[in-house]
Amino acid sequence: MALLDLTFDVPGVIAEGLANGSLERVGGVVREMATKRVVMWLREFSLDPTVVPGGVFNPLMTNLNPATGVFNLAMQGVNAGLSLKGFAAVNQRLDTIQGVLTLTSAASILNLGVSVMGFAVIAQRLKGLEQRLQKAQEILQKIDHKIDLSFYANFRAALDLASNAFTMTKGENRRNSALNAINRFLEAEHIYTDFVDKELELKSQISDEYLLTLYLAYIAEARCYLELEEFETATRRFREGSAQVRLRVEKYVDLLLTSCPLMYLHPALKEKTDLSRLTKIYQWKNPELDENSAFELMRNEFISNDNQFNKWIESLPASVIEKSKFKKDFWGIKQETRDEVIQRLPQMLEDMESMVESDRRFEAYEIEVKTIAKLGISFHEWLQLKPAEPQPEGATLMCIVPAEPLEL
């Protein structure tokens, strides 16, 4: 097995690499930009399954910037129990590092590290999503839009089956029960894929709940394969799941970007949104873009008169504003509704950031499984990795650093 340094510290060389752009973070994986070789894994632990506003879980929420929804290692590292080893060497570039060392662009329902996503954690996330849908149901019933929550009970039953399977002592019984659970997770994947497609077509406000549920179904299935030490199959299912969900997340993000993304930079939203954050959404879709090229894309859809403004509002998805809330007069949509829409956009940007972060974490899960196979250790040996040093008070993250960059 390759030598691994287990620590609560982010090495200074990695901090500097993230700052100068030679390294990139994808979920819980930090890798070289040019070669994609992995230089560090981030893993959450000692999790308290707390549900934050909106039903999204994030154990680092206390360190989120309330204005931007961003958690910065460089500025908040001490509070999070993470110090930056050798950080003094790059202290003069603190401002740059602050902008790059971001653990979450927004709260994500997926944790850093697939090893943290056990069946109990998945069940807690699922419960949070179900509660969000129950609240949405009260609103949707007014427009005769029904939500079928019965499939969540089936999903929970499958999680119980999987959890019980891996407490069995007889190998054959454990494997048979796990395969039964896998079949139920496969069924859930088909069901929620269909739900997502229908809600995206309707431009409804519950597309994200179904997208996140779909992520959980794929994670639960892959977790079974990991428990069975079937790394190749787990890797394949993460890859296939990523292809299926990513396509739909892009459609969801496009809906929230609207036909005029430039509206996210409206003067009324100064200090609430900015070009840098919006560019990161575009870079997730196309890594070749920079701020200038992203802005040029947005400028093509500039709104120049009241008529275009009205048409833009009329085209907005329900996640931004329900059509039943439109207030109109003889001249069209009232200024009150226009102002309400504009003030909703910062939350929409956070929603996009959250979904993009979830997608990156899901992508990192496949990389993590490849890592375990490459290192030649069992899944349970990977789970047991922990720094020998005392855990700093309040620490929720550990770093796994290979002696040499790992090519997968």
Residue-wise pLDDT for 212-240, tens only, equals: 999 999 999 999 999 999 999 999 999 99
What pLDDT, on the 0 to 100 scale, is given for residue 70?
34
Residue 49 exposure: Cα atoms within 13 Å on the Cβ side: 13
Which region, left, alpha or beta, applies to residue 243 given φ > 0 means left and ψ of -120 to 50 means alpha?
Answer: alpha
Rounded Cα gap, residues 363 and 93, in angstroms: 29
What pLDDT, on the 0 to 100 scale, is given for residue 265?
93
What pLDDT, on the 0 to 100 scale, is given for residue 205?
86
Q: Residue 134 in contact with residue 149, Cβ under 8 Å? A: yes
Long-range contacts, 151-155 (Cβ 8 Å, 24+): 151/188, 151/191, 151/192, 152/126, 152/213, 154/184, 154/187, 154/188, 155/126, 155/184, 155/188, 155/213, 155/216, 155/217
Which residues of the chain fall below pLDDT 50?
46-105
| Chain-centre distance for alpha carbon 274 | 20
Q: Residue 24 in contact with residue 95, Cβ under 8 Å? A: no
Dihedral angle over CA of 115, 117, 120, 124, nearest 10: 160
Which region, left, alpha or beta, applies to residue 332 given φ > 0 means left and ψ of -120 to 50 means alpha?
Answer: left
Hey, is 407 helix, strand or coil? coil
What pLDDT, on the 0 to 100 scale, is given for residue 44?
85
Tokens standing for 324? Answer: 């039943």
Q: Among candidates 121, 113, 368, 149, which has minimal Cα distance to 220?
A: 121
Q: Among candidates 55, 334, 95, 371, which has minimal Cα distance to 216?
A: 55
Q: Among candidates 257, 247, 178, 254, which has minimal Cα distance to 214?
A: 247
Q: Residue 84 in contact with residue 77, Cβ under 8 Å? A: yes
Strand order in the sheet with 29-32: 4-7, 397-402, 38-44, 29-32, 23-26
Rounded Cα gap, residues 284 and 282, in angstroms: 5
Residue with tokens 């500039």: 302
Per DSSP, which regions of 107-207 are E strands?
none
Residues facing residue 115 across a β-bridge: none
